[in-house]
Structure 1
Amino acid sequence: MRHHHTALHVSDMERSERFYVDGLGLERLDAWTSGAYIGKLYGRADVKVTAMLLATSDGSFRLELAHAEPLLTAVDPSQAQPGTAHLAFTDIDVREVYARMMALGYGAISEPVAPTSGPIAGGWLVYLLDPDGNRVELIQPPDWRPGVNS
């Protein structure tokens, strides 16, 4: 078995695409609208889904953004409630990406933090918030160097 993709259900496809493509730099691979099968797959007879597949530049991670209509009430994933998840990206300059995302108007749980214990001690961590409040963790290992580890 191997990983195919991870999906996030989003409330606004264009807004989420701007965050993940324009902000974080993922590449857009494909976009589509679901066929008649989707009601059965989702367990919602009246659902219509539009989706977009994104990937990291090396293709090692693929993210599907999915927008289902009619839209259901969302939980608040920014509070790390059980049943929610977060994405994590590494081998980037955390402080540089954080500054760019803040300049673009996106939010974060905090400014970048320098952990003093655990596997990233001496590096940098931050949780950004995507437009739906999903946590997106950025990880800069202590030994990361631009052009060497990326």
Structure 2
Amino acid sequence: MKVTGAHHTSYTVSNLERSLEFYVGLLGCQVIWQRENRDQYFRDIVGYPDSVAKMAMLSIPGSPHAIELIEYIVPRGVSADVRTKNVGSSHIAFLVDDLRSGYEELCAAGVKFRSPPVAITAGANKGAWAVYLTDPDGITMEFFQPPKTETKS
């Protein structure tokens, strides 16, 4: 078998509606589909024989990659310590075009950031800007503004 690409990143959330307000309402993702899933194939994949989940698949503007949000109704999930230092934590990095203004808008909306935008001063991403933020469940994500490329005339 050969990996040929990436389809989606999935996050388990405590409240799907609240998460949709964040990912759609604040970040600008779009709902591809949303439904309650009791299907046997889903139960087989996740390994919970009686599972019931509220689910949504979201498109990310400008990207073929999607985000799947799952709220388990049965079995009910518990919160995990998903801080970035902990084994098993992960994050998605969203490309943005104006990190400073996005940061200010989302701060005003109550979104929690680890820091103000940070200039990357060394390494492969030198000249870029980045910042970590968290969704309503404390799941970390990153906004990444690539370095500006100069056009030659």
Provide the TM-score with structure 2 as the length reference.
0.85
Following TM superposition, where does structure 1 have runs of at least 4 consecutive aligned residues deviating by more than 4 angstroms?
A: none
Alpha carbons of structure 1 residues 80 and 14: separation in structure 2 relative to 1, 3 Å: farther
Measure the CA separation in 2 of the matches of 1:95 and 1:59.
Answer: 21
Measure the CA separation in 2 of the matches of 1:59 and 1:50.
Answer: 24
Q: Deviations over 1:71-126 (max 9, x none)?
A: 22221213431111101011421111111111111101111111211222222110
Q: CA deviation at 1:17?
A: 0.7
Name the stretch that deviates more: 98-107 or 36-45.
36-45
Task: Among all aligned residue pairs of Structure 1 and Structure 2, give the percentage whose two residues are the same amino acid.
Answer: 33
SS in structure 2 at match of 1:8:
strand
**Match of residue 13, structure 1, among 5, 12, 16:** 16
**Match of residue 81, structure 2, among 76, 83, 90:** 76
- What are the residue-to-residue correspondences of 1:25-64 with 2, within 5 Å? 25-37=28-40, 38-64=42-68
Gap regions ≥5 residues in structure 1 = 146-150
1:67 maps to 2:66: no
**Match of residue 89, structure 1, among 85, 94, 105:** 94
**2:8–2:68: 8 Å Cα contact kept in structure 1?**
yes
Aligned to 2:25: 22
Alpha carbons of structure 1 residues 97 and 144: separation in structure 2 relative to 1, 3 Å: farther
Name the stretch that deviates more: 128-137 or 57-66.
57-66
Measure the CA separation in 1 of the matches of 2:134 and 2:76.
Answer: 20
What is the total number of aligned residue pairs between the two structures?
Answer: 145
Measure the CA separation in 2 of the matches of 1:78 and 1:24.
Answer: 21
Q: CA deviation at 1:59?
A: 4.2
Q: CA RMSD in A?
A: 1.8
Measure the CA separation in 2 of the matches of 1:31 and 1:61.
Answer: 17
Alpha carbons of structure 1 residues 34 and 53: separation in structure 2 relative to 1, 3 Å: same
